[in-house]
Amino acid sequence: MNREIVLDTETTGLSPQQGDRLVEIGCVELINHIPSGKNYHIYINPQRSMPEEAFRVHGLSEEFLSDKPLFAAIAGEFRDFIGDATLVIHNAPFDMGFLNAELEKAGQGRLTNTVIDTVMLARQKHPGARVSLDALCKHYGIDNSRRTLHGALLDSEILAEVYLELLGGKQVSLALIAESTVSGADGIAAQAIAARRPIALPSRISAAEREAHAALVAAMGADAIWAQYETELTTVQQKNPGR
């Protein structure tokens, strides 16, 4: 199992060495590059003023953050969540610099996790192109319309989609299915069940489209891979009624 944590932070400024502090951490867990549904999100009281420039970026005011926990109080739960997973971060030196500075202030050791910097990954894949998160969303057709302000958890969710595209997009998902320990249509069906979200997204398929698809699959014959897939998916669902 390959566990990764897509991570983003918001801060009071650009430099922990100049007294800037963390104000928000957002994390999204990936298992084999697929979001597991487990997230970590926390706002943090920076114990200092909020510069207007930073407020314009993330919209987090001194008043809003005044009753939030100090970093030292949440450092343990944060480290427990990320564990030894690989960290996937856009412009990793920035976020890692702040996280390690906060950990040192809290009397804890620096992070030793493997880190993947998606800025570097994007520059390798798209030499000379803009590699901001917004630019990559535009390039890959990822909806980032909710991103009117920077937010650590939302940016992590968007980055998780961008990261998959940087790795090869849908081809990666298909490769992961092929690597399943269960082969054939049963393995594909089991993978579909395992990757299901904790809360299902509303279906975008109409009843008429569903019926048309069923008719098409039926016309292919019983030996068609789609017919085998649907049979095995039904079997797996019956074996896992709670999934």
Q: Which residues are catalytic?
A: 150
| Cβ-contact 92, 163 below 8 angstroms | no
Q: Is 10 annotated as a binding residue?
A: yes
Here the contacts of 153-157 (C-beta below 8 Å, separation 24 or greater) are: 153/8, 153/26, 153/27, 153/28, 153/39, 153/41, 154/26, 155/8, 155/26, 155/90, 156/6, 156/7, 156/8, 156/26, 156/27, 156/28, 156/39, 157/6, 157/26, 157/28, 157/35
Tokens at 154, concatenated: 């939302």
Q: How far is CA 88 from CA 48, 57, 93, 166, 200, in A?
A: 28, 22, 11, 12, 25
Could you list the residues known to form a binding site, using ranges.
8, 10, 53, 58, 155
Q: Which residues are annotated as a binding site for a divalent metal cation?
A: 8, 10, 155
Annotated binding site for substrate: which residue ranges?
8, 10, 53, 58, 155
